[in-house]
Structure 1
Amino acid sequence: MRLVLNSLHDEVAAKLRERIFAGELAPGSFIDEPALCTSLSISRTPLREALKVLTAEGLLRHEPRRGCFVSQITERDLDEIFPVLALLEGRCAFEAATHASDAELIALEQLHDRLNRSAKARRITDYYEANFAIHEAIITLANNRWLAQVIGDLRKLVKLARLQQLHAPGRLEQSLSEHMAVFAALKARDAEGAEAAMRTHLTRQRVALRELARSQTSRLSA
């Protein structure tokens, strides 16, 4: 029975994550437990277990006597998260340069070819998909489950902010150049170079997001 319960609340947590990332449960919104139980056809027990999981991940916040709310990611949060991501993903690039086989680097090169084609055609959605696949591949190549776990948790929070950094002027081309610099270092088995290039990539991503946020604020106040 315990295994069944665990499986159910994990499934419920996954469904709620999807709704949060899709914007169906908006940042700051109240989690209506009775309504969710009805829509998901579940009892309160697996729902509450799922809410505990999402609260631990930072996607929800719990307020005593009030209930759960979808977390809101602030500019300060992003300023604090991105330097940590840069350090962690930089270390992944370092370890990937050390551990990756020739066959794995060939597979990674194919992902970069896909990224390059998407950038040249300005297919933003395809670029995001290839970009995500590359980051995930490098994390996998690092073969460090602790790095993977912490990065995964932080990336959920970044995803919650629903950011579109490639819409910043010139960012698409800059992002591509940064990715190619990381890959060049990986191919050369230059662990320190790969680490530095990945840190630069994440740092510049945050800069682009900050500039985009300022631009949007200026337009709204004009």
Structure 2
Amino acid sequence: MAEPIPLRRPSLHEEVATRLRNMIFERQLLPGQWVDELALARDWQISRTPLREALKVLAAEGLVVPVPRQGSKVAEIPEDEADELLPVMALLEGRCAFEAVRKARDADIRRLQRLHEQLEKHAAAHDIEAYYRANHEFHSAVQALAGNRWLDRATGDLRRFVRLLRGRQLHWPGRIEASINEHRVLLDAIVQRDAARAERVMHDHLLAQLAALKALRQHERAQGAPHAG
């Protein structure tokens, strides 16, 4: 039997999808912006085939919206959908915190403490972008510690849409100070291995994000400023 011919770079479109996903999460591609396939193919020195396959992956994830005969646009989260998304995320992340506390080893808690130290550093500097990234890492670590594949799947799917908001609520005056305070209470519950309290604190932390986001949007409307999500 003849030796099979190996496929060349079978995961190229997955690599492209990862790069596009990161561009969206880092706001290099903004909500509502058209994806310039020609420019990206040229810059990345690839054909448009893996790029289009990657866009199909992101469309299935809800991160881009295909428009017939025009291309793909980065998805936007309308205000009413954000208002519905964050309470659901609060339930899921609360459960993540509950299960994480029950399963965490001492080394896991020490890692969360190190991540929290980064949050403290960025909050003190009022570095919103760095705080946002560290916050995402902390929440993702709690999710991973929960060790529940069904919870992980549901939370991970929705976290992609939360990331489209890019922590806009942190721009509301006083929010970053309130957020780090909430994280201090959460970390204390984790260190004390109080799963029920960790669940409540995490849940309320997400709802506080929503309250800040609503306040920011109301202020922007009052000022006549444009907003996204």
TM-score tier (shorter): 0.7 to 0.9
- Using the size of structure 2 for normalisation, the TM-score is 0.85
Structure 1 residues 97 and 23, CA, compared in 2 at 3 Å: closer, same or farther? closer
State the number of aligned residues.
Answer: 220
Q: 2:110 aligns with which of 106, 112, 116?
A: 106
Deviations 1:108-161 (A, max 9, x none): 222223322332343333432332222122112111233223323322222223
Residue 180 (structure 1) aligns with: 184
Structure 1 residues 23 and 118, CA, compared in 2 at 3 Å: closer, same or farther? closer
Q: Relative to structure 2, which stretch is displaced further, 102-111 or 49-58? A: 102-111
Are residue 162 (structure 1) and residue 180 (structure 2) matched?
Answer: no
Runs of 4+ in 1 over 4 A off after TM superposition: none
- Kindly provide the amino acid, as one letter, of the partner of residue 103 in structure 2: H
Return the offset for 1:65. Answer: 4.2
CA distance in structure 2 between the aligned counterparts of 1:124 and 1:24, rounded to whole angstroms: 17
CA distance in structure 2 between the aligned counterparts of 1:24 and 1:120, rounded to whole angstroms: 26
Are residue 61 (structure 1) and residue 68 (structure 2) matched?
Answer: no
Coordinate RMSD, CA, aligned: 2.2
- Kindly provide the amino acid, as one letter, of the partner of residue 163 in structure 2: K
Residue 3 (structure 2) aligns with: none
SS at match of 1:51: helix
Q: 1:96 aligns with which of 75, 93, 100?
A: 100
Return the offset for 1:62. Answer: 2.1
Q: What stretches of structure 2 of length at least 5 have no aligned partner?
A: 1-5
Q: 2:22 aligns with which of 3, 12, 18?
A: 18
Structure 1 residues 196 and 44, CA, compared in 2 at 3 Å: closer, same or farther? same
Q: Which protein has the bigger helix share?
A: 1
CA distance in structure 2 between the aligned counterparts of 1:17 and 1:164, rounded to whole angstroms: 18
Percent of counterpart pairs with the same letter? Answer: 49
